[in-house]
A and B are shown apart, each in its own frame.
Chain A
Amino acid sequence: MADNLLCNIIEQVQTICDKHGNNPGELINILHEAQHLMGYLPEDMQRAIARKLGIPVSKVYGVVSFYTFFTMTPKGRHPISVCMGTACYVRGAEKLLEEFKRQLGIEVGETTPDGKFSLDCLRCVGACGLAPVVMIGEKVYGRLQPIDVKKILDDFE
C-alpha cells in the first residue's frame, strides 16, 4: 500500500517535471509544486526530480536546503505558520510563537508526534492590519493574544 502510494506520488512528480519541460532552470517552480503533493519533499521525491531533470541530486538538495520555504520534515495535518513580519513582530508575534511552542511541545520546523500540528514561521501574509497574524492550514487568524492559543488548538478535531 505504502509502495503504491509512493509510486503514485512519484508519477505525479514526473508529471510536474514534464509540465515544466524537464528544464533544470525550472527547478524551484517544480519543487514548489512538488511540495504541495505531500506537504514536504522526501528524499525519494528529490531523487526522482533529479533523475527526471538530468541533474545531480546534490544540486536539488542544495536548493531545498537553501530556501526555508522548502522542507524535508513531514508537515502536520494542520500546519501552523506564525507571521514574523515587521508589523506582527512589533505587535507581539514572538510571545505568540512561544505560546504555540509551549502548548505543542515542539520547536519551529517540527511536527507533533501525533502528526496533528506542525509549527513554522513566515514573513508577512499581507494582512498587517490584523497583526499579529497566524495561519493554520488555509485559515487566517488575526489580532491574536497568547491567551487565545490554547482555545484555537482545542478547536481542531
Chain B
Amino acid sequence: MRDVHGALQIQSYIRLLNLFTMEKQVTLQIDHHFITVPEGSTILEAAREIGIDIPTLCHIDLKGTCVKNNPASCRICVVEVEGRRNLAPACATRCTEGMKVHTSTLRVMNARKIVAELILSDHPNECLTCPKSGNCELQTLALRFNIREMPFNGGELSARKRETTSSIIRNMDKCIFCRRCESVCNDVQTVGAIGAIRRGFNTTIAPAFDKMMADSECTYCGQCVAVCPVGALTERDHTNRLLEDLANPEKTVIVQTAPAVRAALGEEFGMPPGTLVTGKMVYALRELGFDYVFDTDFAADLTIMEEGAEILNRLHRYLNGDTSVRLPILTSCCPAWVNFFEHQFPDLLDIPSTARSPQQMFGSIAKHVWAKKTGIPVEKLTVVSIMPCLAKKYECDREEFKPGGIPDVDYSITTRELARLIKRANIGFTLLPDAEFDNPMGASTGAGTIFGTTGGVMEAALRTVYEAYTGRTLQKVDFEQVRGLEGVRHANIDLGGFELKVGIAHGLGNARHLLEDIRNGRNEYHVIEIMACPGGCIGGGGQPLHHGNSAILYARANALYREDTNKPLRKSHENPYIRELYEECLGKPLSEEAERLLHTHYFNKSIN
C-alpha cells in the first residue's frame, strides 16, 4: 500500500512535469504498480521499465539500432487487461490512460504454458546434443514455465532442409517461426536471402525457390544466427578440428584474436558486459596449447598502412585534377560487406579499397613472411583466427586466399566457440592472470584495437592519414565525431586546409542507402567506412548472444575505446614491428610485394 501511495506521488510529480513538456503521457497500472509512460509505449516496454519481466519469444528490439522484430505471433507475452475479453500480447498492445494490466494471474500463466507446450509439440527433443543448449530461449521458457511433460503429441514436422555452409548451419526442424532471422535479413540488412515459404506444416524459412543458402545472396554476416532464439541457425563449429591440431606434435599452431573478442569473451563466463579480458584470453590460449598467441590488431595496423596509402593516393590524384579517380573510397575489412557489394552492387566493384581484411593480412604475413623467417615449413603451420564473426569463416575459404591450395588462414572460430573450448579444457577463466601477446605479430597500437567497433576503422585511418597528409603530429588522437551507434554518421575533418568528408555506416541496410546514393551520382564523401553488423564487429554474428539487450553493445564499444586510451602507442604507423616489416620485407605501402601479399580483387556475384 505504501508503494502505491509513493507511486501516486511520483506520478503526480510526473504529471506536473508533463505540463512543461509537449510529449503526451499515459498512466496505467501494471500489477500493483502505477507507471506513467509516453503515449504509444507498449505494455511490454512499460512493464520492463518497472522491472516486471514479461517473458517473450518472437519479440526482439535492440534499442538504439534498427534490429527489431515485432510480429506478435508467438503469444508467449500475453497479459490480462481489465475490460478486455481475450488476453493481449504485451509486445504489441499500446498503453492507454487508466489501463489495468495483470501480468501473472493463473489464467495468464496457464495460457503461456499451453502456448509453450504447443510450440514444443513439434520441436525435436534434442536438447542434449543441440548446439544452442544452455543458451536457447525456448529451453529457458520451458524451464521457467515449469513444463515437465509434453501433453501434445501428434503433428510432426516434415523433415526440412539441413544445410552446412562455410559459416552457418541451418537445421529448420528446430525453427519456431519467430521470423527474427527474416526481419534482420530483409529489413535490417536488406540482403533478402531468406524468408518464409509455403504454408502450414510445410512452412520453412529458406532462400527463394527453396535453394541452398550457399546459392543465395547470403553474405554470411550471421545476424540471423545472432538473433535466432533456438538451434535452427547456428555457427559452423571448428573446435574439434582445432583440438586435433593442437594435440598434433608435428604442427605449429598459431592464433590471432580479433579486437572485438576481448571486449565480449568475459560475458560467456558471467563477467559484466564491457569487461576487458585481453590478458586472460591470451593466458587461456597458451593454456589451450597454441604455440604462439598473436593479435589481429597487429594486422589492423597493417591494414591502416595499406588502406591509408590508398586513401592518400586517390586524394592526391583527385586534388591534382585526375578525373579518372574513383571517390569515395570504401573500407574493405568486413567480409560480409564485401559479399554484399559483390552480390548487390557489382557495378561498383572498383570503389572499395583493395586492401585485404586484417584476418587475411595476418594469414598472408604469417604464412609467407613470418614462417620463412622462423623456419617453420608452411605445411606444418596452422593459422587459426578467433573472430566475432561468421563471415570470416567463409572468408578463409575464398579461393583467392588459398595460393597454391594452402589457405592463408586455415580456419576461424568464433568468440562463442572459444568460450566453449576454454570451458571444455577445464580452464577457470575468471581466475586467470594476465598474459602478453607474443611478438612480433602481437604488437599493436590503440588504432588497431578500435577496429572492432563502428567508426573505429575510420578513426584509425584518420590518425595515420592526418599525419601523412599534413606532415604534422596529431595533437588529439580521439576523433569523437566519428564514434557512436547511429546507423549513418558523417564528419568533416580538417586536414590542414583541406576538408576531408567521411561517412560511416553499420548494418548493411544503412550501407545500401549510401551505395545507392553513390550509384545515382549523389555522393558527398571522400572516404566511407562500412561494417555489416549493427554496432560493428562488437555486435558480430559470432559474439556472445545479446538476447536483444543493446546496453551490451555500448559496453563492448566503450571497452575497446578504453583499451585504446590505455595503450602507449595509438597510431598504426608508430607500431615498431609494422615499421620493421616494411623495412625488411615490404618496402613501402602499395609496393609490388605489398600488393601481392596484402591486396585482393573482387568478383561479380550477381544472381540475376
A7 to B: closest C-beta gap in Å: 14
Docked-complex contact A62 and B195, CB < 8 angstroms:
yes
Q: Given A47-B608, A51-B608, are A58 and B199 neighbors across the interface (CB < 8 Å)?
A: no
Docked-complex contact A59 and B186, CB < 8 angstroms:
yes
Docked-complex contact B208 and A60, CB < 8 angstroms:
yes
Q: Which residue of B lies closest to A60 (CB)?
A: B208
**Cα A47 to Cα B196 with chains together (Å):** 17
Contacts of B199 on A, CB cut-off 8 Å? 65-66
Q: Is A37 an interface residue (CB 8 A)?
A: no
Docked-complex contact B186 and A56, CB < 8 angstroms:
yes
Q: Is A98 an interface residue (CB 8 A)?
A: no
Question: Which residues of A from 40 to 68 have beta carbons under 8 Å from B?
Answer: 43, 46-47, 51, 55-62, 65-66
A59 to B: closest C-beta gap in Å: 6
Contact with A along B204-219 (1 / 0, CB 8 A): 0011111000001100
Selected contact of A58 from candidates B186, B198, B608, CB within 8 Å: B186
Which of A47, A55, A59, A60 has the most chain B CB within a 10 Å cutoff?
A59
Contacts of B208 on A, CB cut-off 8 Å? 46, 56-58, 60-61
**Cα A57 to Cα B199 with chains together (Å):** 17
Q: Is B116 an interface residue (CB 8 A)?
A: no
Q: Is B193 an interface residue (CB 8 A)?
A: yes
**Cα A43 to Cα B210 with chains together (Å):** 11
**Cα A46 to Cα B196 with chains together (Å):** 16
For the complex, count residues of A whose C-beta is within 8 A of B: 14
Selected contact of B192 from candidates A46, A56, A66, CB within 8 Å: A56
**Cα A141 to Cα B94 with chains together (Å):** 53
Selected contact of A62 from candidates B190, B193, B196, B217, CB within 8 Å: B196
Contacts of A55 on B, CB cut-off 8 Å? 192
Docked-complex contact A66 and B198, CB < 8 angstroms:
yes
Contacts of A47 on B, CB cut-off 8 Å? 608
B598 to A: closest C-beta gap in Å: 35
**Cα A46 to Cα B608 with chains together (Å):** 11
**Cα A26 to Cα B188 with chains together (Å):** 22
**Cα A65 to Cα B199 with chains together (Å):** 8
Q: Is B474 an interface residue (CB 8 A)?
A: no
**Cα A47 to Cα B217 with chains together (Å):** 13
Q: Is B329 an interface residue (CB 8 A)?
A: no
A68 to B: closest C-beta gap in Å: 9
Docked-complex contact A61 and B192, CB < 8 angstroms:
no
**Cα A134 to Cα B210 with chains together (Å):** 32
**Cα A60 to Cα B195 with chains together (Å):** 9
Q: Is B194 an interface residue (CB 8 A)?
A: yes
Contacts of B10 on A, CB cut-off 8 Å? none
Contacts of A56 on B, CB cut-off 8 Å? 186, 190-193, 195, 208, 217
Docked-complex contact B192 and A57, CB < 8 angstroms:
yes
Docked-complex contact A61 and B209, CB < 8 angstroms:
yes
B193 to A: closest C-beta gap in Å: 7
**Cα A65 to Cα B210 with chains together (Å):** 10
**Cα A75 to Cα B119 with chains together (Å):** 38
Q: Is B197 an interface residue (CB 8 A)?
A: yes
Question: Which residues of A from 55 to 92 have beta carbons under 8 Å from B?
Answer: 55-62, 65-66
**Cα A55 to Cα B209 with chains together (Å):** 15
Contacts of B195 on A, CB cut-off 8 Å? 56, 58-59, 61-62
Q: Which residue of B lies closest to A68 (CB)?
A: B199
Contacts of A43 on B, CB cut-off 8 Å? 209
A28 to B: closest C-beta gap in Å: 14
Contact with A along B120-158 (1 / 0, CB 8 A): 000000000000000000000000000000000000000
**Cα A51 to Cα B192 with chains together (Å):** 12
Contacts of B216 on A, CB cut-off 8 Å? 58
Question: Which residues of B from 69 to 119 have beta carbons under 8 Å from A?
Answer: none
Q: Given A51-B608, A58-B207, are A65 and B197 neighbors across the interface (CB < 8 Å)?
A: yes
A139 to B: closest C-beta gap in Å: 30
B212 to A: closest C-beta gap in Å: 13
A98 to B: closest C-beta gap in Å: 23
Contacts of A59 on B, CB cut-off 8 Å? 186, 192, 195
Contacts of B209 on A, CB cut-off 8 Å? 43, 61
Contacts of B186 on A, CB cut-off 8 Å? 56, 58-59
Contacts of A61 on B, CB cut-off 8 Å? 195, 197, 208-209
B441 to A: closest C-beta gap in Å: 41
**Cα A72 to Cα B190 with chains together (Å):** 25
**Cα A56 to Cα B191 with chains together (Å):** 8
Contacts of B191 on A, CB cut-off 8 Å? 56
Q: Which residue of A lies closest to B186 (CB)?
A: A56
A94 to B: closest C-beta gap in Å: 21
**Cα A139 to Cα B136 with chains together (Å):** 56
Q: Which residue of B lies closest to A72 (CB)?
A: B209
A70 to B: closest C-beta gap in Å: 11
**Cα A56 to Cα B183 with chains together (Å):** 12
**Cα A56 to Cα B208 with chains together (Å):** 9
Contacts of A65 on B, CB cut-off 8 Å? 197-199, 210
**Cα A56 to Cα B197 with chains together (Å):** 13
B478 to A: closest C-beta gap in Å: 40
**Cα A98 to Cα B191 with chains together (Å):** 44
Which of A55, A60, A61 has the most chain B CB within a 10 Å cutoff?
A61
Contacts of B194 on A, CB cut-off 8 Å? 58
Contacts of A60 on B, CB cut-off 8 Å? 208
Q: Which residue of B lies closest to A48 (CB)?
A: B608
Q: Which residue of A lies closest to B207 (CB)?
A: A58
Q: Given A56-B208, A57-B208, are A62 and B192 neighbors across the interface (CB < 8 Å)?
A: no
Q: Given A43-B209, A55-B192, A57-B192, are A62 and B197 neighbors across the interface (CB < 8 Å)?
A: yes
Contacts of B217 on A, CB cut-off 8 Å? 56
Q: Which residue of A lies closest to B191 (CB)?
A: A56
Contacts of A58 on B, CB cut-off 8 Å? 186, 192-195, 197, 206-208, 216
B293 to A: closest C-beta gap in Å: 42
Q: Which residue of B lies closest to A47 (CB)?
A: B608
**Cα A7 to Cα B191 with chains together (Å):** 26
**Cα A66 to Cα B196 with chains together (Å):** 9
**Cα A81 to Cα B590 with chains together (Å):** 68
B63 to A: closest C-beta gap in Å: 26
18 contacts between A and B (CB under 8 A): A51-B608, A55-B192, A56-B186, A56-B192, A56-B195, A56-B217, A58-B186, A58-B192, A58-B194, A58-B195, A58-B206, A58-B207, A59-B192, A61-B197, A61-B208, A61-B209, A62-B195, A66-B197
- 10 A-B pairs with the lowest CB-CB distances in the bound complex, closest first: A56-B192, A58-B195, A61-B208, A58-B208, A57-B208, A65-B197, A62-B195, A65-B198, A66-B199, A62-B197
- Apart from A43-B209, A55-B192, 16 more pairs, CB < 8 Å: A46-B208, A56-B186, A56-B190, A56-B193, A56-B208, A56-B217, A57-B192, A58-B186, A58-B194, A58-B206, A58-B208, A59-B192, A62-B195, A62-B196, A65-B197, A66-B198
